[in-house]
Every structure is written in C-alpha cells, then in structure tokens.
C-alpha cells in the first residue's frame, strides 16, 4: 500500500497523523524508528544526511554532520531502511545533489529496492522537479511536495496537484528547529492547503512539542516532528524518542475525542 493510501485511510477513520523525522546514520537511528513505530507514529521520515542542508537549523545540521562523520552514505542508509521492518511506511528526505549525483532514475530505483514509499527533496521546487518526478513515478516512489507561507494562492493548487503521499505544509518562514510557540502561519498554511486539496496536509518545520502538535492538528491532518525528535535521539537515545512520540500521540489523540 502506498504512503498516501495509508495516510488517507487513517485520516478518514478520524485519526490525526504523526510523522517523526530521524536522521539516518545517526547513532541509534534504527532503534529510534522502531520505538517511534511502537509508540504511535503513522509513518517515518528518514533523512539521508547531506553536507549542506540549507533548510535545516542547528539540531538537524549537527545530526547530519555526526552521521556523515560516522560514515553515513545514501547506500548504507538505504540498506539500513531495507533491513528495518518497522511496519510503517518510510519516506526519505534528502537534498537534490545526492539524488542528481546518483542519477534520478538510479536513485528512485534504489529507494524502491529499499522498500521506501516516498521522497521529500526540499531544494527541488515545482519548477525543477520534472526529471525527478518522472523517475520517481516510474519507480513507484511518491514525491512529497512542500508548500510555504510565501506562496501566492494561485501556486498552491499546482503544488498539490503534483504532490504524492502528502503535502508538506511548511509551518513558518525559516529552517527546521524548535520554537517556543507555534507560529500562526502553521495554522494559516494548513487551512489554505485544506481548502484546495484532498491530499493529506501535514505541517512540519517549527511544530516543536506535544502541545504545539495538538494545536496544529485542529486544522491540519497531521504533524511532522523533526528537530524535537532528533535532539532527543542525540541526548537520550531511542527510548527518549519512543517516550516523546507516545507523548505527542496522546496529545493529538486528545484532539479527536
């Protein structure tokens, strides 16, 4: 079953969606994914670390650097995903250069071979996404598109039309990282997208804790938890990730009661 089908079914059954992000190759990353799956994650986003992550703030930058220093490559991260067997769909997030270096078609096939459902490439906007999307479609990989608060209204339907899996609503103007409160733009962005698409709308970037996630899912179909998860993995290991995912799960479930 595709990522989009899984997310739609669960959403349509009244569930709010939770997608933790884990940097692949970081110490304990596979156990962290298993812990997240066991504690209520609906799917997981695995970062293939890149040397120049311009959409990421300090926490994920540091995680990427650590993973690269520990020898992470697209090949061994994908091999790790293939052996994961977490029981939930996996979306890969990486920047475009590792994809381009391998070649669009070869990279897409390597994702499919690893059992990956979807890809998120944050520096590949709509206008540049053609060659990758063609290769991904052919390999059965769903390409998640991002929508940002700066987009004029006319742009959103075009982004949603190309989105597979889900639409990634960028919650604020800025890079990934934890903030003290949820930006108003996160709710606005989710509302604007919900008005134009039936594809699941998941808010990421700046949704920083269980309370913020609960507010976000009043409008959005779900949330991505990135820096908050990665920081816990670096500070407390996989168990800390499991506990945190359980906490967020409980908070967003509370919103659907």
Partner 1 sequence: MAEPSPEGRFGEFGGRFVPETLIPACLELEAAFREAWADPAFRTELDDALRDYAGRPSPLTVCDNLSEQLGLRLLLKREDLNHTGSHKINNVLGQALLARRMGKHRLVAETGAGQHGVATATAAALLGMECAVYMGDVDVDRQALNVFRMKLLGAQVFPVSSGSRTLKDAVNEALRDWVATVESTHYCIGSVMGPHPYPWMVRELQRVIGDEARRQCRELTGADPDVVVACVGGGSNAAGIFSGFVDTAARLVGTEAAGGAAIGRGVPGVVHGMKSYLMQDEYGQVLEAHSISAGLDYPGIGPEHSHLWASGRATYEAVTDAEVIDAFQLLARTEGIIPALEPAHALAWVTREAAALAGQTVLVNLSGRGDKDVAQMMDVLGA
By CB under 8 A, name the binding residues for partner 1.
50-55, 57, 61, 65, 68, 73-75, 96-102, 122-128, 145-152, 155, 159, 170, 173-175
Judging by beta carbons within 10 Å of its beta carbon (0-12, 13-18, 19+), is residue 159 exposed, middle or buried?
A: buried
> Shortest Cβ distance from residue 145 to partner 1 (Å)?
8
Spatial separation of the C-alpha atoms in residues 112 and 5, rounded to whole Å = 17
How many other β-carbons are positioned within 10 Å of the β-carbon of residue 106?
Answer: 12
> Shortest Cβ distance from residue 125 to partner 1 (Å)?
5
- Long-range CB contacts (within 8 A, 24+) of 160-164: 160/193, 160/196, 160/197, 160/199, 162/126, 162/129, 162/133, 163/197, 163/199, 164/2, 164/3, 164/4, 164/118, 164/199
Q: Which is nearer to partner 1, 193 or 241 (by Cβ)?
A: 193
> Shortest Cβ distance from residue 24 to partner 1 (Å)?
13
10 touches 42 (CB < 8 A):
yes
Residues classed as catalytic? 45, 56
> Shortest Cβ distance from residue 142 to partner 1 (Å)?
17
Q: Which is nearer to partner 1, 25 or 200 (by Cβ)?
A: 25
SS3 37: helix
Structure tokens at 199: 């594809």
């Amino acid at each position: 079953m595709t990522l989009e089908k899984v997310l739609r079914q669960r959403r349509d059954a009244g569930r709010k969606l939770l997608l933790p992000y884990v940097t692949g190759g970081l110490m304990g990353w596979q156990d962290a994914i298993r812990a997240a799956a066991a504690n209520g994650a609906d799917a997981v986003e695995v970062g293939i670390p890149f040397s120049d992550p311009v959409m990421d703030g300090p926490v994920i930058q540091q995680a990427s650097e650590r993973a690269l220093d520990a020898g992470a490559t697209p090949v061994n991260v994908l091999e790790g995903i293939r052996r994961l067997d977490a029981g939930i769909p996996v979306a890969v997030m990486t920047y475009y250069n590792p994809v381009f270096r391998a070649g669009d078609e070869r990279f897409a096939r390597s994702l499919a071979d690893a059992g990956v459902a979807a890809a998120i490439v944050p520096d590949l906007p709509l206008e540049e996404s053609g060659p990758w999307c063609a290769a991904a479609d052919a390999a059965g990989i769903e390409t998640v598109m991002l929508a940002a608060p700066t987009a004029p209204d006319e742009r959103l339907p075009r982004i949603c039309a190309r989105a597979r899996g889900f639409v990634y609503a960028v919650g604020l103007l800025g890079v990934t990282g934890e903030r003290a409160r949820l930006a108003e733009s996160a709710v606005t962005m989710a509302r604007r997208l919900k008005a134009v698409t039936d594809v699941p709308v998941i808010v990421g970037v700046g949704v920083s804790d269980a309370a913020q996630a609960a507010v976000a899912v009043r409008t959005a179909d779900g949330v991505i938890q990135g820096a908050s998860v990665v920081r816990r993995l670096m500070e407390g290991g996989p168990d800390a990730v499991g506990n945190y995912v359980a906490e967020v799960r409980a908070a967003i479930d509370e919103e659907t009661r």
